[in-house]
Homo-oligomer: A and B are copies of this chain.
């Protein structure tokens, strides 16, 4: 409200004019739903009905050339900025850089974000996604493991349909963190003529062997939980114990030892139960991770996590045999933000990606993010890149 002048308010309250907003985005967002019939995956399977949620910040201009697409990370959603109501404790994850006058200026850009297929948070009321937990309209039952295996390219194709439904043919920029970086890179590789600027954050041009293995360990606890039942649990108790352990690994891997060692000490979870005496007692950091994982598991779906693991594992820019090919197709000037402490997408992989895009004749700016959280600094400490982003978007 600070950005709205008294004069504009008066006019609006009098209802005399359709008041043009002084800011295109006042911070309140509404989840929208996009439906797509008969979506055919890259694997050749057809999904009769795809629904995904989306939200937007700022307004689409008449030329439809002010669009920035934000693509979300593994455990993220389309809620990139703003609040659903004034009571929301926290805004969307990149609110620090999305808003009026911010680096991604909603007074200038139309910023749009959508939930991916097989979104992790399938049971979050603010998420709309399609995946194993969704009813298959042909059977009336949840898809379960009959849902086709999908990949990053499929996420991109759903986004393309969403954008086309709004008459949007090209993107001023596409920006995403982690799995969002994979989608952004895929956009620029597969549709080079539609992407004017590329901003991959904490991600690279292919999932490297380290990450293949790491992602595999995220899937394992779910498969170990007998309640998982080969993915068929929608009529019964879901495999929450396995899902929680999986989410704990996600949290830990996405962080860095500097964060853990600055945030926690060796305190016990319960001061009356010494872990050195009782095997079932825990340390405070374990309890904190357990509680965070339990809260996240409440809205997450175990099968969706397995499908997301695979979508991330199978990523190679452009979908060819080598990512050199895929990256060489990119034409957009590129800004890559990354962390030297990233334990998910290694700094080496990020640098190699930058080099390959550059070798294909492109301009690439590679900028490290500071912070103690490693990979997560690309989400939680993004504000430090505001000036860089602003300059890149000029």
Contacts and interface: CB of A to CB of B under 8 A. Distances in A.
A285 interface: yes
A91 interface: no
Contact of A220 (B206, B221, B283, B346): B221
A220 to B, nearest CB: 5
A257 B208 contact: yes
B217 A261 contact: no
Contacts of A217: 245, 248-249, 252
A160 interface: no
Contacts of A216: 282-283, 286, 289
A385 interface: no
A248 B241 CA distance: 19
Indicate how many identical chains form the complex.
2
Contacts of A343: 257, 343
Contacts of A248: 217, 220
A79 to B, nearest CB: 27
A349 interface: yes
A242 B349 CA distance: 31
A258 B351 CA distance: 14
Nearest to A147: B279
A209 B145 contact: no
Interface residues of A, number: 55
A146 to B, nearest CB: 11
A278 interface: yes
B149 A278 contact: yes
Nearest to A132: B279
Contacts of A261: 208-210, 346, 348-349
Given A257-B346, A283-B216, A348-B257, A209 B276 contact: no
Interface stretch (A20-28, A98-106, A188-196, A308-316): A308-316
A206 B266 contact: yes
Interface in A199-226: 206-214, 216-217, 220-221, 224-226
Interface string A287-328: 001000000000000000011001001101000000000000
Contacts of A275: 310, 313-314
Contact of A221 (B145, B221, B349): B221
Considering residues A207, A211, A282, A286, which has the most beta carbons from chain B within 10 angstroms of its beta carbon? A286
A82 interface: no
B264 A149 contact: no
Nearest to A150: B276
A2 interface: no
Contacts of A306: 279
A131 interface: no
A62 interface: no
Nearest to A226: B226
A13 interface: no
Contact of A224 (B214, B225, B277, B278): B225
A36 interface: no
Contact of A258 (B225, B241, B348): B348
Given A43-B277, A209-B265, A212-B285, 4 more contacts: A209-B261, A217-B248, A224-B224, A261-B346
